[in-house]
Structure 1
Amino acid sequence: MQQRLAILDDYQDVAHGFADWASLEQAGVSTSVFREPFQSPDALVAALVDCRIVVAMRERTPFPRAVLEKLPALKLLVTTGMANAAIDVDAASELGITVCGTPGSPTAAPELTWALLLALARNLPAEENSLRAGTWQTSVGIELAGKTLGIVGLGRIGRRIAAYGQAFGMDVLAWSENLTEEAAAEAGARKVSKEDLFRNSDVATLHLRLSPRSEGIVGEEELRLLGPEGLLVNTARGPLVNQDALVRALGEGWIRGAALDVFDEEPLPAGHPLLAAPNTVLSPHLGYVTRESYSQFYGGAFEDVSAWLAGSPVRVITG
């Protein structure tokens, strides 16, 4: 029996370059690739209603219970990475859908975080645009050496950021609800309260998972504490920051600037207020978009599909 496999949100049209999906035809699997985001849950269901296997790229397409219930043919849902807040894993299990994950790069997101921070500190996007327009040197940047770096969330990524900060000669502070002084010290940071982190940091960077507890964890109070010379970096999840407060902070000068790779709504729609906000460096959720990361994502997804077809699923994610 022919089985249909859908690969979603292949924005760069590269999925076939990172895994031999065509070879699955020998196992009776036909592959469809979707490059553009679906405009609604109904459009998603209409496109996937007869799919037995779906490969989702990170959290680009949500799979809540209401969508999964309308996909009766779906039996295997693969997410790149080993966690995906956009998939209702419990609902999938109840509906008999196996959810599998993949390996990922430990360095892609931290490296982008540091690239955005350096670009913001030295005003690189504005200076490049100015240079191309025929103007020479229009702003004065700042150096990171001797500054204080505040890390909100000292997990796998946060620890790498702490090491980068130390390498650049920065004093490193850290906070999260369950962080211990010992864990902070092991990463070369000092544990402080959230209030003290934002009050004393020149740069605050976010590396928390999004949850009901962490949503909006940075709001007006934290941004005002960061102060008119402070920089905010968010490469984790957009809703960690109160978007309205951030737009006001940038427009009214509560902070010096913000570097953002993630947003409440993705892709970011035309006319979004952040697109017009001053003193920003914005990137389209590129934290995991590298050749090395995609090799692990698509290669791992191919392994997941092959193992499931053979009756022995690997890297199964449970609720």
Structure 2
Amino acid sequence: MHQLAILDDYQRVAHRYADWSSLEERGVTVTAISQHIAAEADVVAALQDFDIVIAMRERTPFPGRILEKLPRLKLLVTTGAANASIDVEAAARLGITVCGTGGSPAAAPELTWALLLAFARNLTQEEAALRGGRWQTGVGFELSGKTLGIVGLGKIGTRIAGYGRAFGMDVLAWSQNLTEEAAAAAGVRKVTKDELFRESDVVSLHLRLSARSEGTVGERELRLLGPDGVLVNTARGPLVDQGALVTALQEGWIRGAALDVFDQEPLPSGHPLLEVPRTLLTPHLGYVTDASYRAFFGGALEDVKAWLDGSAIRTLTP
């Protein structure tokens, strides 16, 4: 018999997107947990009886100190192809198999562009004003003719570059390993980090979170972006120094920020970003689409079945 936990099923849709009942005949009992478990001690207590865990992206971290306290855990599946909050090296040492899934390549880029358009045309404020009986309360700005800076020209960043060109924007890109050839293939201009923040009207972040990329955007970069600049982050919250960003928004170093990711998730009540001006905030919706969830939950089910058969697939290694 196996006990399987599906974590952070906020919308209670895990059973809609995969046929978990197909595991019953193989002796697997499935429990979907909709409430986020934040404290490490509570995570350990909640998962003591499970030998299979499905984690939704980085919502629940699994550092080595937690894995060591889950002796029954044998299979840990993360939705998506990578998860910076899982200590894969510790898992390997403890004999825990870690697997990933596929995803939707369009979900995050489309959300990124939706945020930018909504911010540029003041959509949330104008809708609220309209419902309150007011008409045309502000003035937006157009993207055409502006400069878009992309930090991280991977699969998502390359899509964003295409969107920017389609909207008539000049597109720049920077990352530590970006080559002239890769930039040219994406139809963008490779620049230095300082040049990107200084020259861009909009900067969009698309780096993978790692020890090297954490804090990529701090006070220096925000001041270079300037009072007319907009920061868009749909990648990972810790890419940005949250304290510096709050100060930048309070003091007007930048025009504003459109954010889907944060240093703490779910964003707790009283978090400074909930109080500062010139922001558009969404609750990490980048991957919350029908197509993504079919890939995530369907892929996780495939991983479990393959592991039960003794031939794990999509394994993540140190």
Could you say what secondary structure the match of 1:177 adopts?
A: coil
Could you say what secondary structure the match of 1:4 adopts?
A: strand
Paired position in structure 2 for 1:105: 104
Could you say what secondary structure the match of 1:174 adopts?
A: strand
How far apart are 1:178 and its partner, in Å? Answer: 0.9
2:81 corresponds to 1:82 = yes
Paired position in structure 2 for 1:300: 299
- Aligned mates of 1:250, 1:136 — CA distance in 2: 26
Paired position in structure 2 for 1:228: 227
- Aligned mates of 1:247, 1:43 — CA distance in 2: 30
Contact conserved, 2:250 with 2:276, CA < 8 A, in 1?
yes
Structure 1 residues 1-319: aligned runs within 5 Å = 2-319=1-318
Gaps of 5+ in 2: none
- Aligned mates of 1:22, 1:311 — CA distance in 2: 20
How far apart are 1:213 and its partner, in Å? Answer: 1.5
1:290-309 Cα shifts (integer Å, max 9, x gaps) = 00000000000000001111
Letter in 1 for 2:243: D
How far apart are 1:45 and its partner, in Å? Answer: 1.0
Letter in 2 for 1:128: E
Moved more, 20-29 or 295-304: 20-29
Could you say what secondary structure the match of 1:54 adopts?
A: strand
Moved more, 128-137 or 8-17: 128-137
Letter in 1 for 2:71: P
Where in structure 1 do 4 or more consecutive aligned residues deviate above 3 Å? none
1:172-225 Cα shifts (integer Å, max 9, x gaps) = 000011111111011010000110101100000000111121111111111111
- Aligned mates of 2:252, 2:39 — CA distance in 1: 37
- Aligned mates of 1:304, 1:29 — CA distance in 2: 14
1:42-76 Cα shifts (integer Å, max 9, x gaps) = 11111111111100010000111111011111111
How far apart are 1:5 and its partner, in Å? Answer: 0.4
How far apart are 1:28 and its partner, in Å? Answer: 0.5
Letter in 2 for 1:216: G
Could you say what secondary structure the match of 1:232 adopts?
A: strand
Identical-pair percentage:
71
Contact conserved, 2:38 with 2:60, CA < 8 A, in 1?
no
Moved more, 17-26 or 291-300: 17-26
How far apart are 1:39 and its partner, in Å? Answer: 2.9
- Aligned mates of 1:163, 1:76 — CA distance in 2: 38
How far apart are 1:19 and its partner, in Å? Answer: 0.6
How far apart are 1:253 and its partner, in Å? Answer: 1.1
Given the two structures, how large is their TM-score scaled by the length of structure 2?
0.99
How far apart are 1:248 and its partner, in Å? Answer: 1.1
How far apart are 1:252 and its partner, in Å? Answer: 1.1
- Aligned mates of 1:63, 1:258 — CA distance in 2: 30
How far apart are 1:310 and its partner, in Å? Answer: 1.1
Letter in 2 for 1:82: A
How far apart are 1:17 and its partner, in Å? Answer: 0.2
How far apart are 1:3 and its partner, in Å? Answer: 1.0
How far apart are 1:246 and its partner, in Å? Answer: 0.8
1:219-278 Cα shifts (integer Å, max 9, x gaps) = 111111111111100001111111111111111111111000000000000111111111
- Aligned mates of 1:218, 1:46 — CA distance in 2: 36
Could you say what secondary structure the match of 2:34 adopts?
A: coil
- Aligned mates of 2:158, 2:194 — CA distance in 1: 20
How far apart are 1:129 and its partner, in Å? Answer: 1.2
- Aligned mates of 1:182, 1:311 — CA distance in 2: 42
Gaps of 5+ in 1: none
Could you say what secondary structure the match of 2:254 adopts?
A: coil
- Aligned mates of 1:148, 1:234 — CA distance in 2: 16
- Aligned mates of 2:34, 2:212 — CA distance in 1: 33
Given the two structures, how large is their TM-score scaled by the length of structure 1?
0.98
